[in-house]
A and B are shown apart, each in its own frame.
Chain A
């Protein structure tokens, strides 16, 4: 009988070794899968995991890692505060959408004015949109004790409907030949979130993600709020005695994650995506939840996890066009990678021991 004993502290060794083990396991099992699909497993694995970093065109793929990874990291860092404190905002996808809508609406309303204040204003509007959308489950939890997991999830669907309504209605490009979708903000200089240094993929969203990582790192390590967050998660009763106000904690954590998700949406809609369209959201809000856990809710871990997820997306695309691998195989591989990462995590927090069968 295998028994798990909770470690007094997460194992340092395993917190580094576990992700490596998970990736290796994914490569092995994925290799079997690809072989079954009639592909050369070594070639496929190399294409997905190494080509984006070290191939002939890596100079093009590497910046793409930033573009794909930045929204994931930005959202995940915000979520990690709440997750640490036991506050479960799983509606980042909705906050991302509303942030993009609010930010884009500001930019579109001012079109075609050109002043340097438009883009900063849009960032504020985006963050505000995400914040307000996250405050709904936050306030309902504080006032009525409603479950924030469920309310924030419901609000994702509401946001998706709103997005479609906006893309088909008020935000529709008047010069778009009647097709749904807004004007392209990337072509509107004052509102565009363009590359800061050409060819690097570095846009304001990437900068914001990096700032968020550093900010989170400092807050968690040095600031009293970081201490309170950790305490609220690990020992809610102790936190209360230590003077942590649960309602305040909920509102701050929800608001913070919402604002960051909203900003991620704005950076995406003003730059890489350019337009508000019916299917503007591609699941970053949900993927970020996974990224947050893969990164063990630690800012640096999240940065790495975001990079890993971005790698599989980009490598997956390369594998499709180079090797004719179906997209489904990529999403299967991603699912597998997540399963293994989640599974081996047990080694970090628990000690595995073989014991004689005990009577329950």
Chain B
């Protein structure tokens, strides 16, 4: 017991040793570091974060310097890369995957003078902020269009992993679709991957074969779009990036991860010395979630009502989760007029009433 405590305090001393370091690089430039979980060429999640990085360079020109390391596994490698960036004088470091959470907390504690920003996590510190996007707001707009457009009344949904983020998106789009089309039915398949184009194509095909004429996806590749196009008469929505190459049909709209405004804001805050920690969850109104151009394949009145929904969500007038909403088992979740609180949404582990099937566990 004693020995172990000794070891633990040794580790603490190491942390202190690092803390006592002077600011190492005395550059006038503000340095911003990014740690990416995938390659910037993935065309999806990491690609969009990298677009945000490029936007910082565009905005501030020579007064900033950005650096990034791609395809960093979520483990000791992440700790190493973050520490390396901090040592090199990074003023602000964005860690862009949920799996970096504990590593970011660890490194942030060793570098109190460096600001850290962790995407999609829930642990913060005085120099560690978290940020995430309310993608479910965009899902509601998709659900609205999907509910109007479907003629088979079957909407297919490709889930990645059964985690709150994805379940929230399913519920949000279902409620919006149901609101405009009471007969709508959701078919959900879990791909158990974020990115495997062949499997995503397969999933889309299966859903189409089982009658779906609208495909919503929570995986990042364009394979489902191509599958839909091959079958004809099926519409899809871009995910993460606009996927405009499949517009106007099958891709009729999209949810775009638009990190650029946030990244620019936070970089500016560091430059001004006004940076403070926070836990933000920004939606359409803040510009973090962008709804891609609704194409002409959608009838004008549906397009108009979808845009109205988008604007109303952006203005904070409409909340996609507004009562009355029951859980799948029929129990009351939200009473008439009640809006979901963020805590429940963040840990969402149930379907709303009307969705069939079980969440795999």
Contact = CB atoms under 8 A, between A and B. Distances in A.
Interface string B322-361: 0000000000000000000000001111000000000011
B340 to A, nearest CB: 15
A272 B1 contact: no
Chain B interface residue count: which class? 35 or more
A168 B161 contact: yes
A280 B77 CA distance: 12
Interface stretch (B3-11, B253-261, B287-295): B3-11
Interface stretch (B83-91, B267-275, B302-310): B83-91
B361 A179 contact: no
B81 A189 contact: no
Given A57-B87, A275-B102, A321-B33, A178 B7 contact: no
A321 B346 contact: no
Interface stretch (B62-70, B211-219, B228-236, B311-319): B62-70
A184 B192 CA distance: 23
A178 B102 contact: no
A322 B162 CA distance: 37
Contacts of B87: 57, 60
A68 B81 CA distance: 12
Interface in A244-278: 268, 272-275, 277-278
A326 B67 CA distance: 11
Contacts of B68: 320-321, 324
Given A178-B349, A179-B98, A273-B75, A60 B4 contact: no
Contacts, number: 118
Contacts of B10: 195-198
Contacts of A189: 4-5, 8
B204 interface: no
A324 B67 contact: yes
B14 A273 contact: no
B17 interface: yes
Contact of B163 (A164, A180, A318): A180
Q: Is chain A's interface secondary structure helix, strand, loop, or mixed overall?
A: loop
Contacts of B74: 277, 279
Interface in B77-107: 77, 79-81, 83-85, 87-88, 98-99, 102
Interface residues of A, number: 50
Given A164-B192, A280-B75, A194 B11 contact: yes
B4 A279 contact: no
Nearest to B359: A178
A184 B132 CA distance: 22
A295 interface: no
B7 A196 contact: yes
A230 to B, nearest CB: 35
Given A317-B69, A322-B67, A181 B99 contact: yes
Nearest to B39: A327
A195 B72 CA distance: 22
Nearest to B106: A186
A184 to B, nearest CB: 5
Nearest to A195: B11
A184 B10 CA distance: 19
B76 interface: yes
B73 interface: yes
A324 B69 CA distance: 8
B13 to A, nearest CB: 5
B210 interface: no
A131 B355 CA distance: 45
Given A198-B13, A317-B81, A177 B164 contact: yes
A82 to B, nearest CB: 27
B122 interface: yes
Contacts of B348: 178
A93 B192 CA distance: 21
B79 A272 contact: yes
Interface string A4-48: 000000000000000000000000000000000000000000000
A57 B164 contact: no
21 contacts: A60-B84, A67-B76, A116-B1, A168-B360, A168-B361, A177-B346, A177-B347, A180-B161, A196-B10, A198-B13, A199-B14, A274-B102, A279-B74, A282-B73, A314-B80, A320-B70, A321-B33, A321-B68, A327-B39, A327-B71, A328-B39
Given A115-B1, A169-B361, 18 more contacts: A60-B83, A61-B84, A67-B80, A168-B162, A168-B360, A178-B347, A179-B164, A186-B102, A198-B17, A268-B76, A277-B74, A279-B74, A280-B75, A318-B84, A320-B69, A321-B68, A321-B84, A327-B71
